[in-house]
Each structure stands twice: as C-alpha cells, then as structure tokens.
Structure 1
Amino acid sequence: MGNSSSTPSRPPTPPPSPLLRTPWREITWGDNKNSLQYLKNFQPQNEEATIRVLLHGPVGAGKSSFINSVNNVLQGKMTNEALASATTSDQSFTKIYQTYKIKKEGRGNFYPFVFNDVMGLEEKTGVRADDIKLALKGHMKDGYKFNPVSSLSDGDSHYNSSPSISDRVHVLVCIHDANAVQIKSSVLEKMREIREAASELGIPQLAILTHIDSACGETEKTLRNVYKSKHLKKKMGDFSSSLGIPMNCIFPVKNYSHEIQINSDVDTLILNALRLMIDFGDDYAEKL
C-alpha cells in the first residue's frame, strides 16, 4: 500500500499594505521652533508690502478653518478668528470679503501677512470668478458682500480704483477636501478660470488638501503616515492632474476642528504649507 502525502496548505496572502515603506516626501516632525521663529522674524523684501494670501475653493473645503488653524499655530493656543462653520452644507458660510490679520507678540503688533477668504465656488449660488479676478488685482475692499448674480463694478462703494501693493493678492491658494469624490465640472471650470487669471498676473499658486485624517484610516491613526499613505498620494495626484497644480505645490493638512489643545503634528503640516505660501508671496511682492 503506497504512502499518501498531502501538500501542506499555504497561509493566505496578506492584503497589500495601504502604506508605502518609505515616505515619498521628507518632513521633520516634532520640531516646529525653527519654522515658528522664521515666521516671527519674517519681514517682506518689499517694505511697502503686506503679503496677502487669498483662499478659494469649493464650499465646505475648510477655507475659514485653515485661517483659524494658522492663527492657532502662531498664537500657540486655540482661537476662533475666522468663525468657521461647524456644519458642512452646499451653502457657503462666508458671505463677505474680509481681511484676517494675525496678532503678534507685543501690543498692537501683527504679522506682515494677511488672509482673505471668499465665498465658496458653488455652481449657481457661489462666488463669481470675475469677483475673484478683481480681488486678485486689489480692487475689492473689505466688507464687500458677494453677489452670485452680479460682480463688483467700478461704481460700487467697495470698488478700490487705485489699489496699493498691499491691496493686491500675492499668492493664491486653492483649498480642497481630501474626502471629495470628484470636483463638479462647473466648479472645476471656475477654478481653472481663476487659476488662469492668476497665472496671467504672475501670481504664484499653491493648493491645500484638507481633512486628511478622515480621508485615510492610516492618517487618522497618526498624521505621521500622511506621506506614506497610498490613498492620499493618489488623491493629491488626481487633484494635481485635474487642476494643473504641480505636486510639490500641494500640501496635505489637518485643520483644527474638534481639538481643545494644540497638537504638534497638526502644527508641523500647517507650518510647512504656511512657510512656502509666505515665501512665494514675498518673492512676487518684491517684483512689484
């Protein structure tokens, strides 16, 4: 009677890891002192300029929350400067053009850079691309109420007919939600139109990818997985392709939302994006 032999069963192949072995972008975690000191010491090369950063993007992407988060990082405490909406809806929370300054140590002192937030780019009820074009050139005064039906005109009291260097926008930043499945074609068209107008003016452009913690389970565990996450790398690549912004000009961040204390890793990602924004804007203002 012959010996019967059975082939031992192989263990099941483990599923592919959602993380890359090594991060695809280098970043220094935990040591934010140098970046904070850099920003505290920053003075524009053009002495007449205050660097103006204009944020735009689809509704609910986190534009106001990003301003609040930058404020938190620079103040070293939780703040609520830009009054971000806690609910995500298809209606834009920001209705008025407003400049946000950030307080600096010492009474009456502010950082030499400011932020402007605009109404979301909804299809029919959002900010008009023509309004953002006027803001880029410095023609829009604080307090202008966005009107989805008609743009700011030169006869309006909020029209600035002779903008200074500081009134102009020095860097345009597109804010996009990493959870968004796809940008609506009508919104994407607006974004491209705005991007083209900024390019014609020579204004540098960056993009921020928000909500990276809820978009990827591995990043939710620890933000330090952000540049190892295959999902987020693909998200950034898709966004880069759709809008034409290079990958090295796209920064993933997590805005402060439910936290009640400052978090070092949240700060690191925001500071990385902020430093480049200010440097790009400074180089542009210096040429004006």
Structure 2
Amino acid sequence: MQRIVISNGILTATLSPLGASLCDLRLDGVDHSLVLGWSEPQDYLQNDDYLGPIVGRCANRIAGGCYRLGGQEYQLDQNFRDRHCLHGGEDGAAKQDWDLRQQSATHVTFGLHLPDGHMGFGGELFVEARFTIEDPAALVLEIEARSKGASICNFAPHWYFNLSGAGDITDHILTIVADRYLPVDDDLIPLGDPAEVSGTVFDFRTPREVGNYPFDHNFCLSDQQRPEKLAATLESLRSGVRMDLSTTEPGLQVYSGTYLNHPGRKTLSGAPYMAWSGLALEPQGWPDAVNNPAYPSVILEHGQLYRNVSRFAFSRIDGQCG
C-alpha cells in the first residue's frame, strides 16, 4: 500500500490513497502517534472499523438504507445490521483507491469518482480531498465535490485519536461547543428532534473526562454549514498534548470506540486496539438527514459545489507546539 508523508518539521502526517486515509500522525517531541492505525498495510484492506479513511458519499447512517429525491426512491446497500446504510455502503469512499492528484512537502490532494448508482446512490459524484500541514502544527482537511445529477453528499474524516499513545481514552479531557445532540434508537438511528445536553452525559460544554459511556452520537454544532469555527478540544494530561478541532460542518459525530476488538492485529502503538482505545471525532452533516427535512440538508444539486473544511490544531498543554 502506497504511503505518502507530508510535514513541516513539527507535525508529520502519513497518508494513503486507499480510502484517502490518515495512517499516522506525529507531533515533534512526542514519541507516539496521535491517531490509531495499523502497522501492517494489508489490515487497511479490511479495516472494518474505519481507522483513518474519509467516509462517504454519505457519512453515518441512513435509516432503512433508502431515501427519496426528485420523486424517485433509492435503495442503498444495507451494510449496517443488514437494515441500514453506513458510511456510503460496503464499498463506499473508505474502500476506494483514490487518485493522487497533487503533492508537495506539506500537502497532498486525492481525487475520487463515484458513478451514478454506486451503492445505490443517485448522481455522478466527483470528489477531491486536500490534506495540508499548516504552521505551527495543524492538519487541515478540505473536501470538495460536484455532482452530475442531484446526489447525497456528506463526507467525513474517520480518525480515532489517542493523544496518550496507548491505553484507553476515558481520561482524556473533552470539550464540545454544542448545547444539543441527537438521541438515537438501538440501531443508532436518530429519533427525531435534537435534545438539550444540559443535565445529561452529553454535556461537554465544560471540559471533563470522556469516561466510559458508549458514545456514538451526533452533537449539533449548528443548523447549517457555517464559516470554520471551533467545535471541540481534546487533551491528554498523561502526554500533555492538546488538539483543537474547528470545522465548517453542522455536526460532530463522537464515537468512543466501544466496539473496537482487535487483539491480534499489529498496531502503531504495539498494543491491541480494544474498547475505548481511541476517540473518533467526525465533523459531518447530521445522520439520516436525507430522511429528516428539518435537519441540515445533505443534498447536492447538479453542478453545485460541496465544500467541507476541518482543522485539527495540535499543541502542548504547557504552551509549546512541539
């Protein structure tokens, strides 16, 4: 599997065209990766827990694996519990070999073409993902797409963070700038209107430990795409590393890695990835938005430009960048 390294000397990212994946992320002065990843390339061919890729054409879940658009019903691949569509289907963007379009010391651009009917989705989609290392220590992901014919478009980076490098993430300190979240049913499908986080385990407006609650929920940052704005902060007191996440996206899916269970695979840390080994923070549109007209729209009309920007800025809690 091809690996591409971009760096400014302080922050170094290792990427792969397979799934446009982030395979490793290193901060100068820190002796471990900041993300989960496989050390054996063949494990990315399976990668059933989506360690590192960009997921789409529609991140998250679509209830019943179907939607209606323009008077037509679309039946999608039902790759989640044989009932719902997850992350664009079994052969979604995360499983595709993206084309290498541009490359320099500090940036790389991948491209992908998803034909009309792929995984059941309508519309022919043309996508580019640009990764850039910006000073002093930020990884910026810009995703742009255009559709030939109306389509669903909602891409997200599926990166698991462990700023301590090993062990679990229950003691990481998390802040989320959201006063609402989406309650879900047993299949993790939204139940309807957002609920207030106040007085619940979902209230991260004040920094606190992640804990061992099985999070796999959308936090409602806004009611539509917006200019890039701070969404979340994650800190490890063990390693002294801090990450600030800002995004244009209206939602942040938080997944605590509850179902990670890979005792036999070789990992970047050398330790097996088990439950709570990493925390996925996925800026995206709200789940099942295509079936909920009150949610921010994930419909991309013919010729319209989709643009999604997320910035992951790293520093030391003591104020240093590396």
TM-score bracket relative to the smaller structure = 0.3 to 0.5
RCO higher in structure (CA 8 A, sep ≥6): 1
Q: Which has the higher strand share?
A: 2
More helix by share: 1
TM-score between the two structures when normalised by the length of structure 2: 0.30
Question: Which one has a bigger Cα radius of gyration?
Answer: 1
Q: TM-score scaled to structure 1, two decimals?
A: 0.33
